Each structure stands twice: as structure tokens, then as C-alpha cells.
Structure 1
Amino acid sequence: MTASILTVDDSASLRLATRIALTGAGYTVAEASDGVEGLAKARSCRFDLIITDLNMPNMDGLTMIRQIRQLPIQTGTPIIFLSTESDDGLKQQAKAAGATGWLVKPFQPEQLLRITQKVLAR
């Protein structure tokens, strides 16, 4: 069975690049354009991995992660931040909120696949 991944980002071009990389590696990908939509999808379907942006309209990634971590359906689901931000303070906030890892944009598809394989192997 292939892993199911939710990507949450307000940039359509980034969602496309992420989807191409992940589906090309055989993963099933669902998409959301902001934290509100991402949270709604996380409430309705179990994912093997969630990849989210930090800065988005309507609900930012930190708030979304905090709320996802309260959902029994997503218990233990790894969450990766994919963001232009690389500040250590933000990384600590993300970890405290429940993020599993951090990948800085722009990214190479190989980087995304490497971190995806690493967190899914846990």
C-alpha cells in the first residue's frame, strides 16, 4: 500500500512541484491551500505524512499543527514544515507545536523525497 500524504501550502506552484515529486515516487497526494482547509482534510482522512507551509492566510502552519495534534485520527502522523523561514526560534516553536522536521524552500525534489522516506520509515 502506498503512503498517503497531505500537502498544505497557499502557493499553487509549490503544491504542484510537491505533488509532482511525491506522486512520481509513488505516493498518493491530497492538497490544501491553507491551514483551515488542511485541518478539515486532516479531520476527515488519516494521512501517513503531512507537509505544511508556515505562513498561509486564514490559518498558519503552527496553528494548524497544534490543532491536528489534538485529532485522534492523526495520532503519530509525522508533520514536516516546508517553509522559506529557517530561524532557529521558529524551528523550536514548530517542534513544540508537534512538527517532526523542517525543510527550507526552495527545495530540491530529492531533498523532499529523502526526508519523506526518512519520516515514513519510523
Structure 2
Amino acid sequence: MARVLIVDDSSLIRQEVSQFLSQQGLQTLTAADGNEGLQQLRSQRDIGLVICDVNMPGLDGLSMAEKTRNELGCHTPIIMLTTENCPKMKARGKAAGVRGWIVKPFNGPATIGAIRSLLGQ
């Protein structure tokens, strides 16, 4: 079963999203920033989806998405979960292969269909 990687510098958000997805029968991994997220993608071959914040210290989410595609050659679907709603950021994300953009707060019931679809379920 493919796992969902949750990348956010807020431990509360990581916990909230992970708990909701676990209740839906999905397995999750977490990372506290884009660098940890990239490391998880390098080492865990069964990641089927990434849910990622944009604004994080170290490596931000959009840069992580770009590195995921350009450096790792990885095409795992990525959904941004962020407070940002700027069209310029969305365009940058789309260019990096981001498949969805969710504005916080996280609403699990409203997003589970899209999450399952991207996981091929």
C-alpha cells in the first residue's frame, strides 16, 4: 500500500493530517521541512502522495517540489497544504508538477476524495 508523506514545519498540522488519514485507512510518514521530505522520498519507495506546506524554514515546499522533479526524477503527486493563495505561487507549483492546492485549515472530509484519487484508490 502506498503511503502519504506529510511535510509541514508545524507538528500540529502533521499530527492532524496524519491522524485523519490514518482514520481513513491510509499509512503516513511525516517530515518537518523540505529537506526531510526529500530524504524520505529518496529512501522510501512506497510513497504514493506528498502533502506539503509551502512556507517552511530550510527548504520550502515549492523548492522541494522542484527538486523532487528535477533532481530526483520523481513524479509522485504533490498537493500543497498552505495559507498561501497567490496565483504566482500556484503557477510555480503547477510548473513543478504540483497536482493540488489546499488552503489551510485542513478539511479532511472535503479532500479525501482527491487524495484517494491521486493514490489510485
Q: TM over 0.5: same fold?
A: yes
Per-residue deviation, 1:111: 2.0
Query: Sequence identity of aligned pairs in percent?
Result: 41
C-alpha contact (below 8 Å) 1:21/1:113 kept by paired residues: no
Please list every run of 5 or more consecutive structure 2 residues that lacks an aligned counterpart in the other structure.
none
Q: Distance in 2 between matches of 1:65 and 1:100?
A: 11
After TM superposition, the runs of 4+ consecutive aligned structure 1 residues lying more than 2 A away are: none
Q: How many residues align?
A: 119
Q: Distance in 1 between matches of 2:18 and 2:89?
A: 25
Q: Equivalent residue for 1:94?
A: 93
- Alignment RMSD, CA only? 1.4
Per-residue deviation, 1:53: 0.3
TM-score, normalization by structure 1 = 0.91
C-alpha contact (below 8 Å) 2:17/2:106 kept by paired residues: no
Per-residue deviation, 1:117: 1.4
**Secondary structure at the residue paired with 1:10?**
coil
2:102 maps to 1:103? yes
Q: Equivalent residue for 2:14?
A: 15
Q: Equivalent residue for 1:66?
A: 66
**Secondary structure at the residue paired with 1:116?**
helix
Q: Equivalent residue for 2:5?
A: 6
Please list every run of 5 or more consecutive structure 1 residues that lacks an aligned counterpart in the other structure.
none
2:44 maps to 1:52? no
Give, as a single letter, the amino acid of the residue that structure 2 aligns with 1:62. Answer: L
Per-residue deviation, 1:100: 1.0
